[in-house]
Structure 1
Amino acid sequence: MKKIPAKPTSYVSLDETSRALLDSAVESAYVMDVSGYVLAANDMAAKQFDLEKGRDLEQCNIYDLLPPETAEIRREKVQEAIDSVKKVNFEEEVLGKSLFHSIVPVSNPWGEVGRLTISTLDKTELRRTDEGLRREQQRQIFFMESLPGIVYHLYPDKSIRYANRYFRKYLGSPKGKICAEALHCCEDACDGCPPMEAMETDRAVEWDWTDNKGRTFHLQCSPMTDSAGERMIMVLGIDITARKRAEDELKRAHDKLEDRVRQRTKELEKANTELTQKSMRLVSAMKKADSATRAKSAFLANMSHEIRTPLNAVLGMAELSLLTEEADKKNHYLKRVKEAGHTLLSVINDILDFSKIEARKLTLETIDFDLRSVLEAALDIHSMTVMEKGLDLSYKVEPNVPEVLQGDPSRLKQVLINLLSNAVKFTEKGGVDVSVALLSSEEMANPGDRVVLEFSVTDTGIGIPEDKQEDVFKSFLQADDSITRKHGGTGLGLAICTLLVELMDGRLHLSSVEGEGSTFSFTATLAVGDASKLQAEERARRVDQSITMPKLKVLLADDNELNRQLASTLLEEQGHQCVKVENGALALEALKTEHFDVVLMDVQMPVMDGVSATRAIRTPNSGVLSPDIPIVALTAHALMGDRERFLEAGMTDYIAKPIKIDEFYSTLARVVLGREVKQKKRAVAAKKEVASETFDRQTALDMLGGRKDLLTRMDEIFIRDVPGELEDLRNNINDMHWEDAQRMAHSIKGSSRTVGASRCGAVAEQMEFFCRQRDGVSASKELKTLESEVESALTFIRTDTQ
């Protein structure tokens, strides 16, 4: 049984000076007897045991205040100090704190220990600081190890005591070598070495350095002190070899550009004179632009309302249709969803039409059409609204107006629909009349002859105030743009009509009296159409609709799940088989393993877009089973030139989103059943002919302005640089340095096309794509083909230049 020590019978008596010294000590300090009772203690010692003052700790047994395991260790250390009559130092962890203790025994003249002084230093924060410094050093080392450039520490004795992974991989280990040996320097003397200069002058230095392998690095030298307090230089180097090569190419192109610069300088001098004359007009234009910006802000606020209103109906009615089980209600809700969707599409179309016309990216068709059919279609759209409001709606065409005209019927109908929509919207009683008259001075009945027609839309509505009549034709302005205006709409209708009429070589006019009504009239220059040709086209359309489609196997590439569901449903309802993928890369792989009748290709997709995928499919070396398979673009791109861009890339036809079911089926039938077969075959044959040309020196010569001397210089650069770039490409692929590999493939592509090595350039382009996607398997396969093509190109150029 453990013997419990008795409480002390005496305590340490301290004078004021001793007590002040004890209390002011930074460390915890107290005096105890051999039994563990505290005889005197400072405040720091009391806080160590969660007490307020040192006097609170006095008369306490120190072992009672400690956890059992810690108390046992403390007894052993105290006993060791008593037995040895020597100071004992030790560390321990107590309640998450790191403590350093110093036990000093106090003996009497006979050598007996009666008391002990214990001082304690809390090293917790110090250890945390040391750990933080260690971690920071580790982060710095990790950062330097992962840098895509060389990093090394150079000391005054010319030794390199640290070099990062990039340095070691490229130059080897610097251990035991002076800097000149480790860096494989070309220079024999080190007197002018910039790092040594940086060390001597204690300032940062930058310079370009080339090693004995011909690789150039841009180095930055920064003086600093290492963790041991020794001065050294940290050098950071970035490989700029490719940039240097590019600079050489630019210098070679400089001669050709000088003449063009001189010529351009003269043109700029002339243009500068003209710009000076226009400066005053620009100031006025800036004021108008500022006014237009304010108008656009008001327009955007209104547009937000116009878009959200039908969108709210779409979402709300769709939710109601999902909640009800009654077929009649569900059909009613779905009809309202469709109506709201068409309204939303109309708003979006207004915005897009206005943007396309303003950007001059909208052109008019020139086809034969029946004028009266166009008028009746425009009036039919408003028939329901007219009946609900009890209005009269009629049209009149003068007898001398030709029945068949030549122009763009859809845009003409769009203008009429917009004008009729405004007339019906702002008319509560009375009616709306449409009239068409011939303004040409003489009758021209022959097909192709130009005629000028005047179209008028007259209503008995509210009219437009005289001070607002000019504003209704301006972009983003309305006669009433207040937030509480009675009538909805985007406010773009008349602006679009104005621009469309201008494309028809006409003008839009307004005549209005407030409270009595308005008349919008416009002129349009059209041509007399061919009635027999129009009838023949109608018969051809009826024949096309009677043709039965065969069952097809269709590859559908689209990244949007809803779009894939819609298109696949339309196909499967007609009995076609549909295979769905999410991007162009997957479509390319599918065409390498399966036969399909047609491909429906979305243009904008992740990983590989539709245009890139089409170009890859059309390449004879792509590996697909049928490079000439029909490819139909599915896209929301609808600006001028988009269709031509897709067809130029190798696509067969084009379907715009949102998909219209009739157009979807008719386009698929036209592509599959071979309409315009001769034209398509000629296009495919031309593409194959171009794709099969391994070398096109004439095109390369034309690109260089017909200068054979310049082509010879490009050949020399190709022979000199491309083998090295191919070697760098191979190494970067093996090391999975994809950005560098992509840069090398891009450089080879450009060099190949410059000298006319068409097939080599095409293979390099595919290699560039694989490197961008970090596809190591495909890149390794394509590398073998590229090596063969580069070798063929080198052989051809060397032979051709002899």
Structure 2
Amino acid sequence: MTRLEDLPPADQVAFWQRRHARAQKALEEVEVALERRMRELHEANVELSRREEELAERLDLESSRLVAAQRTAGFATVYFEKGKEPRSSAELNRMLGLPAGARIQLDDIFTMIHPLDAARVLDQQRRFYAEEDYGVDLSYTHRIIRGDGELRWLRWSLRKLRAANTRAAAVLGTVQDITEERATERRMRALQLRAERRAAQLDRLSQHLAEAKAEVEAAMRTRTRFLSQMADQLRTPLNTLVGTLDLLSIEPRTPEDAKRLRAAARAGEQLSLLIGDMIEQAGGDTIEYQLATEPLDLAAILSGTEEYWRLTRPELGDRLRFDIKGGFPPAVLSDPMRLRELLDQLLEAAVAGGAEQEVRFAASWDDGLRIELAGAGAPPTLDVPSPLIAAFEGRSKIAERHVEVRVPLAPTERAPTTKATPEQLRTATGEQPLVLVVDDTETNRQVLGGLLQSIGCQSEIAVNGAEAVEAAAATRFDAILMDVRMPVLDGEAATRAIRASGGPHSQTPIIGVTAHGLQAERDRLLAAGMSACLAKPIERDKLVTALKTAFAAGTAQGGAQALFDLTRFREAFSDLPGSYRDRFRGALKSDLRAFGDDLARAVGEGDEEATRRAAHALKGVAVNAGAVAILDALAQLREQPFALAAQHLPLVEERIERSVGSIDELYGTFFGDG
């Protein structure tokens, strides 16, 4: 191997040049690598600084959020380690009323504990620290009195842990300000106590109300029984009186006797009205004047009023002067009994001024009845019966010693009814009708029998409902006059039994005879199967109308008479002009079906409010037409909870279809146009 020094100088120089070049190149590479590493370190240092700033910002943000959360929740965190200063979050300073940033020592806390809580708290802490196990929890509450004198409640939740890198114990926990919570609890307890006291009061009140309700219901039942007995006891002899007078009026009499009979009949008529109004008022009801509309001779009513007052009040003498002018229409539509009652009330009020007062009663026609009472004393001594005037849609005007009353009355081409010659009834086959009279009072049976004989009917009798059921099954009567209040079996129960017996006898028209005449009782009796109802005292004209309706309906097929109050059905059409009757018949059928469809749709959709509206609309149409079968089915549906409405709907739909199918038949029976 050749040594370097043995080489020529030129070769030695070349060698060292190559070696220097390699060293230079290596140095340059080291410098490049070092520079690159320096740049990397610099970039890493910059990134680290940026991340430190982000972490610091995030830490500050999270710290502020933590502080805000602690303040919102009203709690702070604490950490105690033996030999080191306690550490706590800033919220504890605010709780204790200390300046922000001030270091808190345990003595600061102990000195604030309320004297009444200090011994208990110290004992709990002593036992907590004496516990040798770790992971032990301690929770307690106490009051503090802050430096500003404010009383606050604190709740401590502590846990004993092993300190890091040592066997010493450390305590970590939270402190919560529960002052508002305690106040809320106190308020809640107070409210709860008040609620409990109120509930106890309501229980006692409910008990008292239940007892009072039972007493009221018992009193109502007693009152109802009393009214029923009173009505029966008053109307029964009145029925005998009015019926007897009616029968006496048929026989020939001297003019003077006929005048006395007319006065007695009118007195009985007005007494019947008065008794009905008294019974309604005694029952707690407000009198509602339901005016009938029938053709009447207004001039005859006015002259009859003069005749009645002359005969019954002779002591008035010339003090009462009548001035009844002519020019009245041959007939007007109105309620004759209520019109006579209005005339009597006006006259009674006029003559009440004293024996020295002279009264002039003037009646004339001026697009209605015009009544003037002059010299009747200065108002308000004259008590004008305004409710009855309002029922006629009339008006009154009172001035000094003068009263004017106008009653709108519509003229009619229908002839007024007359009692001169009783109509002789016949069945649809032209035979003499056979009527069963059911009544437990002998005088009533005699009067009804006489009235029936006067209008061409034969009669048989039954003294109670049980006998009526047997008689109806044994004999085919053309009609039954059924008293409602009877022993053994009352009229309502007897009617139900006859209707339930089956066969042709079960369809015999039954006309109820009641002492009340109230619409609620009427509806109940019609729902039981009666064809019509008459209130005592029975008037011959109304008896004739009821029987004619019953005989006509008896020719109808399919039990149509059991679907309708036939009197109301006939009246619904009778007051209409002939050209409007057929139009009303079509509208009636259309409305019943349309409202029935609305009801079915509302029930199917579960819409309780829509069901109520549809049922109300259907009821209104049924009432106007006397469709008692629909009313009965509707009552069953509406009395049940809405959840059961679908179960009762088929009965309503079936009654609607049967009723609509019978309208043409009944219309043809009564008006001759099927």
| TM-score grouping bracket, smaller chain normalisation | 0.3 to 0.5
**TM-score, reference length from structure 2:** 0.39
**Structure with more contact order per residue of length (Cα contacts < 8 Å, sep ≥ 6):** 2
